[in-house]
Structure 1
Amino acid sequence: MKTHNILILVTSAIILAVVSFWIGQQAYSWLPPEAAAESILVDRLFSFLVTLGAFIFLGVTGALTYSVIFHRAAKYDMSDGPPIEGNITLEIVWTAIPFVLVLWIALYSYQIYDQMSILGPMEHHHMSMGMKSAIAEPISETSEISKTNQVAPQSNLAIQVTAKQWAWVFNYPEQNISSTELHLPVNQRAYLTLRSEDVIHGFYIPAFRVKQDVIPNEIINFEFTPILEGKYRLRDSQYSGTYFAAMQADVVVESPEKYQQWLELASQREPSPAFNQAASEYTRKSNQAINSGWVTVKPAQPPVVNYHD
């Protein structure tokens, strides 16, 4: 009988593991498309967490359901249950398993974030030399060594990203171009320098799975590798004031040929004020006869750029 119960338990655990793994694989479809090399790392971590969570959830609910169905008290049975004393072995097992799982999750998560080199405000505050390179591409061992030894370009060669209430401005110093859209060539490392003109902003592209705090009085080096052509959305992940939800911008990932064509097109345009939703709404409400009485921060002037929608 004991061998039979062990066989049932092992079989149930195998079935549970297979179902949990399947659920974890479905988790990839719950997220935006993997548009950057970094997104592959994050999605693997997310799938791992979903698989582990599904295994625990299904295991616990399955055990409870089995107990309710097959070990319920008989009708009109009001007697007490058996006086079971503590089991030291069982207590050690159910303490050790969660400890190992939490440690496993922590180490795996740290490994992912260490590869991506996503740093918070305090780390940047104490790092005057900026952040290290984010080695997050699924590349071969040979190219990984060369990537690791690669030195980030000087700030005047990187795309300069300026965040302000409430607009994103992108400067390409080598071509003397400014834009309210971020254009990037596919499968090439993107080097950015982030700075804020006022408060803390959050540089966040969901399709890339990258988020970096942008801190006033700090120039932050940031890099990633787009791997899928398309148009994506850059959002401010930090609450930066009244119109922070309007602080969005398009991120266009295109072939190197189209990227060069865009640079040539943008360089031929004369700088002009871009449309800014925050400034437009603020002006419209300020001109209304009725004053709501709510105090708000006046948005920065619409950026003057070469290229905008």
Structure 2
Amino acid sequence: MKLRAIITIAVYAVFAILVSFWMAKQSYSWFPPEAAAESKLVDDLFSLFTGLGTLIYLGVIGPFFYSLIFHRASKYDMSDGPPIEGSLTLEIVWTAIPIVLVLGLATASYRTYEKMNIRGPMELVHLQMPQMMESAYAAPFDDSPQREIESALETEPIEEIDVTARQWSWVFHYPEQDVTSTELHVPVDRRVHLTLHSEDVLHGFYVPAFRIKQDVVPNHVIDLEFTPIREGTYRLRDSLYSGTYFASNQSDVVVQSVSDYNQWLADAAAQMPTPAYNPAVAEYSRSNEGKLFQGWKSVPPAPPPVVNYAPKREPVSPPA
């Protein structure tokens, strides 16, 4: 009987470990494609949490169902169960294991957060000395093996871009070429340095495909760095509630080859600055004209940004 129990536990333990590894691998497919080198840090951490969570769940639910099926009392058995006294060893084990797991996961989370170095709004607000503010850059380039290309990416030149968030639009300024745009264009496999500003309230610079979310705080300049590694078009969203039309405060992030990026800069620099289409301004104007009933008052949006480049039409958000 004891041998059968040992074999059953061993087989189930192997099964639980294999399923946990499988779930950890599957978790990578639950996110958008990894479009930045930093996304690997977040996905690895989430995979670790998924695998351990699955193992803990199976470790609890398996013995529960085993006891329910094989050790249940008979239908009319109303007697008390056998008196079992506490085990000090067992108490220590099932207290120590959760403590070790929690401390281990907290350490892994802190290390990932530290590498990403994303700053929150409260620590920025409470900093009295502006020179004490460090850059909020994502730094995957350490001694941990993330990607083979990372060592090469370290030596690439850094692309400087100023980002202004306002109610309700994003404006991107490329100082070297003096180009402004409502669409963020960045070169692939090259470090990008963003200088984030807010003209009014709290905003959130959030690109799901990059796994980067940085709060943009009024009256503070915040530096953010990342390295795009996958060409394509991705969505930038305002992750913080910034007023009535904050849901429309979105833009596309276009990751291009270096040659295409330079060509886009040249083409944009040749265009005269014009007011860009802004959905918040358009909707607010319709409500003032009585063509759209809102039922609540709203802060007037900032005027449409005047930029060199804006999409020909309002882009449609791709599926996450």
Report the TM-score, using the length of structure 2 for normalisation. 0.89
1:131 maps onto 2:153 in alignment: no
Query: Is residue 41–residue 112 contact of structure 1 (8 Å, CA) maintained in 2?
Result: yes
Structure 2 CA distance, aligned partners of 1:72 and 1:184?
A: 63
2:70 aligned with 1:70: yes
1:114 equivalent to 2:114? Answer: yes
- Local SS of the residue matching 2:84: coil
Residue 134 of structure 1: how far off its partner (Å):
2.8
Matches within 5 A, 1:124-163: 124-125=124-125, 126=127, 128-129=130-131, 130-132=133-135, 133-137=137-141, 138=146, 143=151, 147=154, 158-163=160-165
Letter in 1 for 2:219: N
1:271-286 to structure 2, matched below 5 A, reads: 271-286=273-288
Match for residue 251 of structure 2?
A: 249
C-alpha contact (below 8 Å) 2:286/2:292 kept by paired residues? no
- Shift of residue 141, structure 1, vs aligned partner: 11
Residue matched to 1:36 = 36
Among the aligned pairs, what percent are the same residue?
57
AA at the equivalent of 2:138: A
- Structure 1 residue matching 2:309: 3-state secondary structure: coil
* Residue-by-residue CA offset, 1:246-299 (whole Å, 9 max, x unaligned): 000000000000000000000000000111111110110111078655221111
Partner secondary structure for residue 297 of structure 1: coil
User: How far 1:83 sits from its partner (Å)?
Assistant: 2.0
- Consecutive unaligned residues of structure 1, counting only runs of 5 or more, are none
Q: Secondary structure at the match of 2:67?
A: helix
State the one-letter code of the partner of 1:10.
Answer: A
Q: Aligned to 2:179, which of 177, 180, 198?
A: 177
Asked if the contact 2:37–2:150 (Cα under 8 Å) also holds between the matched residues in 1, the reply is: no
SS of residue matched to 1:37: coil
Cα–Cα, structure 1 residues 239 and 141, in superposed 2: closer, same or farther, change >3 Å?
A: closer
Q: Structure 1 residue 222: deviation in Å? A: 0.5
- Whether 1:198 aligns to 2:225 is no
- Aligned residue number for residue 10 of structure 1: 10
Deviation at 1:67, TM superposition (A): 1.0
Which segment drifts farther, 160-169 or 290-299? Answer: 290-299
Alignment of structure 1 residues 48-87 onto 2, 5 Å = 48-87=48-87
TM-score (norm 1): 0.92
The separation in 2 between residues aligned to 1:54 and 1:185, in whole angstroms, is: 39
Amino acid in structure 2 at the alignment position of 1:221? D
Amino acid at match of 1:56: I
Q: Which secondary structure does the structure 1 equivalent of 2:38 belong to?
A: helix
Q: Give the conservation status (yes or no) of the 8 Å contact 1:117–1:131.
A: no
Deviation readout 1:39-75 (Å, 9 max, x if unpaired): 0110011111110111111221111111111111101
Structure 2 partner of 1:207: 209
Amino acid at match of 1:100: V
Partner-residue secondary structure (3-state), 1:195: strand
- Tell me the number of residue pairs that the alignment of Structure 1 and Structure 2 aligns: 302
**DSSP-derived class of the 2:236 partner:** strand
Letter in 2 for 1:131: E
Once superposed, what is the RMSD of the aligned Cα atoms?
2.2
Q: Retained in 2: the 8 A contact 1:188–1:226?
A: yes
Conserved 8 A contact 2:167-2:302: yes
Q: Which amino acid letter does the alignment assign opposite residue 171 of structure 2?
A: V
Tell me whether 9-18 or 112-121 shows the greater mean CA deviation: 9-18
Q: Secondary structure at the match of 2:64?
A: helix
Distance change in 2, residues 1:100/1:269 (3 Å): same
